[in-house]
Amino acid sequence: MMENNIIKPFTAPFWPKENQSNDSIDSYALFRGVFTVNEESIIEFNILGAHWFRALIDNTFLTEGPARFPVEHPEYEVIKKTFLPGKHVITSIVHNHGVDTRMLSGSEIKPFFACEITGNNIPVSWKCEKAEGFIHSAVRTNPQFSWIEWVNTKKNPVDWQKINFDDSEWKNVVRFVPNIGTPAPLNISRICRINHSLSSVAEGKLNGPFDFINPPEWSEENDVTWYKRSLITENISDTDGLWKRYDLERVRLGSPEFILDLPENAVVEFALCEALVDDKVTPYINLSAGLSRNLDHYIARGGVQKFSPVTPKAGRFLEIHIKAPENQIKFISEKFIERTYYSKVNGSFECENPLLNKIWTAGVKTLKACSEDAVTDNPTRERGQWTGDALPSTAIASAAYPDLKISARGLRQAAFCANEDELVAGLHPGHRLHFIGYSLLWIDANVNYYKLTGDTALLEELFPYAEKNITSCENKLTSEGIDISSGPNFIDWGYISNNPEADIATTLLFYSSLNSMIKWCEILNCNSEQYEHLTEKVRSIIVKKLNPYIEENKWSEIGCHSTVLALKNKLIPKKYIDKAVIFIKRHILSCFPNNPDAPRQTDPAVSNRQLITPYFSYFIFPVLINHGEINFVLNQIEKCWGWFINNGLTTIAEVFNLNWSHCHVWSAYPTSFLSEYCLGIIPRYDLGNNHFTFSPYPGNLNFAKGKFPINGTSEAIEIKWEKNEEGLNCELKSEIPVLIHVIKNNKEIEIINLKNKISFNY
């Protein structure tokens, strides 16, 4: 529990009543802050709220949030705007979840809104009111999210966000100190809101039941009224209303925003899904670990009215169902407002293989859909921030965008959410889980982030957490390896440990993290002697366990995951490397989708060694490339990720099974791979500011061209190469100076000070 100190820079947060009782769970509060500007002024807003809010200024969108935070480390948004003289109003609607979600500990943090307005000492008069029209439905979107919206809009005030609304009957706000830490400024870029005008891809009439105002009674999945309606395309007269369906072209996070002219008491429902079922939108979210209803429900007050959920949801397909006489329904405006951190793409990739080009683009779209105030695993099922996703997601982001701030924020929050054993979190900050595998990958992810950005300050800040995290992992080390028997762990879907009391794959991750810790110490000029000794100790354990199997050619008993990690860490004797590579390739080819008859990853409970996942390609592909298997890797990208494209997906799915999430950032690594290995550019800020290596692996490609973003700038390095009789005819271009380390056969052959454009043979 946090100490109840006044949190700065706010006078104090507020809420309609001082004591938040249990009956206020899933309630909404409305706030109006009126102020007057005497002369043209720049005003700064410091805004924070919980558990979800949307704020407008003079009836125009200002921001929404909050950016997820651990209880102890809240962060407020800073927004500056210029105002002309006159009266102005900032308004906000705030949702009290009262339950924990992936984003926030709503059961621990009391609901509040805080907005400090600075600039010329402008006083603000705050008023508040409960939004009576929002009814507690007792129905959550799923166990990872909060409640669906169940709204009788007739009970909510009209035009309450406009400047001249009469709020004289509203209550004064009650200020209090919530049990959170001292807020700090949010150090990421503004989250984008992108307007998409919609045109229906199908529409018609409908028949079937609709719930009205009272909370629904949906104790089972099939109780949802939405499922019991018939969608009709033929022209019949006896119907209950209209429906329209929209294809958002890919999975997107956001909110529909419709302006409709409807009769009083018309019922409006929105639902989203990632894939149609029986040619319909079903508000069911696969693998939700509980009941799911990806929909919202509204009662119209009558006349022209805007309908738009406060809380964003995700899906590719959107349907609207309206219960009203057909001739009284008028669509005035149909939009979807997307929420994403990343907007314009700075990177690019193109080669002669159109499928590889589509896969690169699909990976960028996947990242875009999975980014907001954090890089999340997927936007539809959970919007969860998982530490294990940090390595592939940061690599993907670096190939497409010059801003990696949300990656750094995720690494910080994993540290802030460490458990009592000082193990950094695998999932955070709302729901928290800790597994040693992800805690070990966190060490690698920090050093990798430094290589991509040169951000020494992050390493300095998180070094104490890294020391404690390593110690916590060391406490699980036995003479045989890392003991994972006492708690949950994750290596990959389908992974089976040979010995949970001495898991070899986790021990290999520990070895990798220790090498990263030594590098971390070198960067900060710290003494790494203890980690060098520990690294050698762990190396001896691994070699002792692996060598008998290696010498007897029992690769299947080692398993693909451990073989890959051993090769990555150079722990397989040179004379056995070719056999290890052959085993990895043979394993991959035995799995779906290479082998259509192979077992499928139908759900998370499936454990089977004859499986591959998109996620583990982050570890497999570089290992194979370094051992001469570029063509095999390109073929796998085309075959396996092409399977997604050929099945109609425009983003990359979680596993090679369409029953899982259709948009999962950890699966999009081929985007990074194609930029880093086929274009040949890799950021190396550990060598100095704006340093890159150039080492293309063309394989069976005849040409490639593209752009690689320069971190922290609006510029990108342009790369183009084409095969000729002498090798590759290369052209590199940059509008700002960068240093290119040309690598060939694993040796640096030249350093190019690239100031504009250069051509050379490689």
Chain centroid offset of residue 746 CA: 34
Residue 524: which pLDDT band, with cuts at 50, 70 and 90?
very high
Dump pLDDT digits (tens) for 456-498: 999 999 999 999 999 999 999 999 999 999 888 999 999 999 8
Query: So what's the pLDDT on residue 118?
Result: 79
Q: Does domain 194-340 have CATH number 2.40.30.110?
A: no
Confidence class for position 4, pLDDT limits 50, 70, 90: very low
What is the per-residue DSSP string for 372-393?
Answer: SSSB-S-TTTT--EEGGGHHHH
Is the pLDDT at 21 greater than 60? The verdict is no
- Over residues 531-544, mean pLDDT: 98
Is pLDDT at 20 greater than 60 in this prediction? no
Structure tokens at 160: 């309450």
**What does DSSP say about strands 14-15 and 174-175: parallel, antiparallel, or unpaired?**
antiparallel
Say if residue 235's pLDDT is above 80: no
Under a CB-based contact definition with an 8 Å cutoff, are residues 207 and 231 in contact?
no
Average of per-residue pLDDT across 158-166: 97
Query: Regarding the domain delimited by 14-189, which CATH topology (the fold level of the hierarchy) does it fall under?
Result: Jelly Rolls (2.60.120)
> What pLDDT was estimated at residue 196?
98
**Cα 193 to chain centroid, rounded:** 16
Residue 266: predicted pLDDT: 98
Q: Is 581 exposed, middle or buried (0-12, 13-18, 19+ CB in 10 A)?
A: buried
Q: How far apart are CA 77 and CA 174, in angstroms?
A: 22
b/e map 209-230, b = 16+ CB within 10 Å: ebbeeeebebeeeeebbbbebe
CA distance to 509, 620, 691, per residue, from 550 (Å): 19, 19, 39
Residue 94: beta bridge partners? 29, 53
Please give the pLDDT value at position 117: 86
Nearest-angstrom CA–CA distance, 693 and 374? 28
Higher pLDDT, 573 or 22: 573
Report pLDDT for 120. 65
Q: Could you tell me if 708 and 757 are in contact, meaning their C-beta atoms sit under 8 angstroms apart?
A: no
Can you give the pLDDT at residue 119? 67
Please report the pLDDT score of residue 18 as a whole number: 53
**Domain ranges for the chain:** 14-189, 194-340, 348-679, 685-761
Instruction: Check residue 11 and give its pLDDT.
Output: 73
- How crowded is residue 332: how many other Cβ atoms within 10 Å of its Cβ? 11
3-state per-residue secondary structure call for 222-247: HHCHHHHCEEECCCCCCCCEEEEEEE
Angle between helices 456-474 and 436-453 (to 10 degrees): 160
Among the four given CATH numbers 2.60.40, 3.30.460, 2.60.420, 1.10.3470, the one describing domain 685-761: 2.60.420
> Strand pairing partners for 760?
730
| Paired tokens of 689 | 């500011």
| 3 state SS of 444 | helix
Tokens of 505: 């794959």
Would you state the pLDDT for residue 726?
86
644: enclosing H helix or E strand: helix 642-646
Helix (H) or strand (E) holding 549: helix 529-551
Mean of the per-residue pLDDT values for the chain?
95
Average pLDDT, integer, range 557-578 = 97
Query: How far is Cα 232 from Cα 277, in angstroms, rounded to an integer?
Result: 16
**279 confidence band (pLDDT: 50, 70, 90):** very high
Q: Read off the pLDDT of each residue in 524-529 and give the average, rounded to a whole number.
A: 97
pLDDT band, very low/low/confident/very high, at 656 (cuts 50, 70, 90): very high
- The whole-number pLDDT of residue 2 equals 44
Among 497, 404, 411, which residue's Cα sits nearest to residue 459?
Answer: 411
Judged against a pLDDT cut of 90, whether residue 675 lies above it is answered with yes
User: For the whole prediction, is pTM greater than 0.75?
Assistant: yes
Cβ neighbours for 60, distance < 8 A, ≥ 6 positions apart: none
Mean pLDDT of 131-156: 97
- Asked if domains 14-189 and 194-340 share a fold, the reply is yes
What residues contact residue 244 under an 8 Å CB cut-off, 6+ apart? 200, 202, 203, 319, 320, 331, 334
7 band by pLDDT with thresholds 50, 70 and 90: low
The per-residue pLDDT for range 50-99, each reduced to its tens digit, is 999 999 999 999 999 999 999 999 999 999 999 999 999 999 999 999 99
* Among the ranges given (169-183, 238-252, 256-270, 397-411), the one the predictor scored with the smallest mean pLDDT: 169-183
Q: Does pLDDT of 500 surpass 80?
A: yes
Query: What is the DSSP-derived secondary structure letter of residue 68?
Result: P
For residue 121, what pLDDT is reported? 73
Task: Read off the pLDDT band of 234 (50, 70, 90).
Answer: confident
Confirm or reject CATH 3.40.50.720 for domain 348-679, answering yes or no.
no
Per residue in 171-188, pLDDT tens? 999 988 888 999 999 999
CA gap 391, 399 in Å, rounded: 13
